[in-house]
Amino acid sequence: MRFYYVIISIAIILLGFTTTMEAQSKKKKKRPDPEKVEQKSTVKFAERINADIKAGNLSLAGDFFSVAFKGSGGYKLNNWLSAGLAAKAKLFFLNDRGQSNDQTITYYGFGPYVRAKFLQQFYIQAEYDINSFQIGENERISLSSPYLGGGYMQGWGDWKFGIEVLFIVNDEVRDYDGVIEYWFGGTYNF
């Protein structure tokens, strides 16, 4: 008879352990609230949009003046990598002394970019732009080129301000626009 008491006691103890272990494993596997998951995903999309407004390539020498503007918008793929589209326009103004017609030359371009951020303020950037250069009064030429470079941004909150320098890879584009492009401006959600 004592043998049955021992077996029943062991069975009760084991049953108690299994129910306790089962209850603890159920506690750990808590399901997320669907409303919170949905709110999180919509907030994340808005937080991942970024934009730039920049001016650069400023030159003032005697009778020559040039300035350029660049705007871009992108999407942060993660905390350090973003991709998007950039558009730019540049104005050259030359005052020919003794001539009644001054020369105004414009160019514009657009293309995709990829930016990788490191150390919170620094980033490297690669662009591929298609540019339209004015080569005569009514004549234009389209050239494309990769641009490689980087920048530095510093600021508070969502807005950062800084400088960007891009090296123009294509020799033919360099004939029209120089070796580098430099930009000063602001970035939202860098």
Q: What integer pLDDT is reported at residue 13 of this predicted model?
A: 60
Q: How far is CA 151 from CA 14, 17, 44, 117, in A?
A: 65, 61, 25, 9
**CATH of 49-188 given 2.40.160.20, 3.30.1370.60, 2.60.40.10, 2.60.15.10:** 2.40.160.20
The whole-chain average pLDDT of the chain stands at 83
Sign of the alpha-carbon dihedral angle for 177, 180, 185, 190: positive
Q: Is the pLDDT of residue 41 over 70?
A: no
Structural domain boundaries of the chain?
A: 2-30, 49-188
pTM to 2 decimal places: 0.72
pLDDT confidence band for 31 (50 / 70 / 90): low
pLDDT in tens, 55-100: 999 988 878 899 999 999 999 998 899 999 999 999 988 887 776 6
